[in-house]
C-alpha cells in the first residue's frame, strides 16, 4: 500500500495513456523520466515493470555495466547516446 501511495504522488496526473481517447493529449505533454536507485533485490525492476504495464508505455532498462562496456576511449559516451536514441525511437513508435 505504501508503494502505491508513493506512485500516486510521483505521477499526480495518474498513469498516462490508460484511455485511448485521451492518449494524444496526455502523451503529448513534456515527458519526464524516473530514476529508480537502490540495492540489489529491493524491487526496482519489478516497480518499473508494474508502472510501465499499468501506463502501457515502453521502458528502457539498463545496467550500469552495459554503459561502461567498451575498450575504446569515448565508448561509454557512445553507449549512452545510443541508449537515448533507442528511448526516443520507442517514444515515436508509441505516439
Q: What residue ranges do the domains of the chain occupy?
A: 1-59, 62-95
Distance CA 15, CA 53 (A): 10
Q: What would the mean pLDDT of 5-11 be, rounded to a whole number?
A: 61
Q: How many CB atoms lie within 10 A of CB 83?
A: 14
Share of the chain above pLDDT 70, in %: 62
In this prediction, residue 28 carries a pLDDT of 45
- Condensed to tens digits (0 to 9), the pLDDT of residues 11-46 reads 555 544 445 554 444 444 445 566 677 788 888 888
25: cell is 493529449
Amino acid at each position: 500500500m505504501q508503494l502505491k501511495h508513493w506512485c500516486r504522488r510521483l505521477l499526480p496526473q495518474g498513469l498516462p495513456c490508460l484511455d485511448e481517447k485521451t492518449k494524444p493529449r496526455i502523451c503529448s505533454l513534456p515527458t519526464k523520466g524516473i530514476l529508480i536507485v537502490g540495492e540489489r533485490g529491493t524491487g526496482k525492476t519489478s516497480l518499473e515493470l508494474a508502472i510501465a504495464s499499468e501506463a502501457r508505455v515502453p521502458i528502457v532498462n539498463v545496467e550500469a555495466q552495459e554503459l561502461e562496456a567498451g575498450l575504446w576511449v569515448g565508448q561509454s559516451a557512445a553507449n549512452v547516446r545510443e541508449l537515448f536514441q533507442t528511448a526516443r525511437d520507442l517514444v515515436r513508435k508509441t505516439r
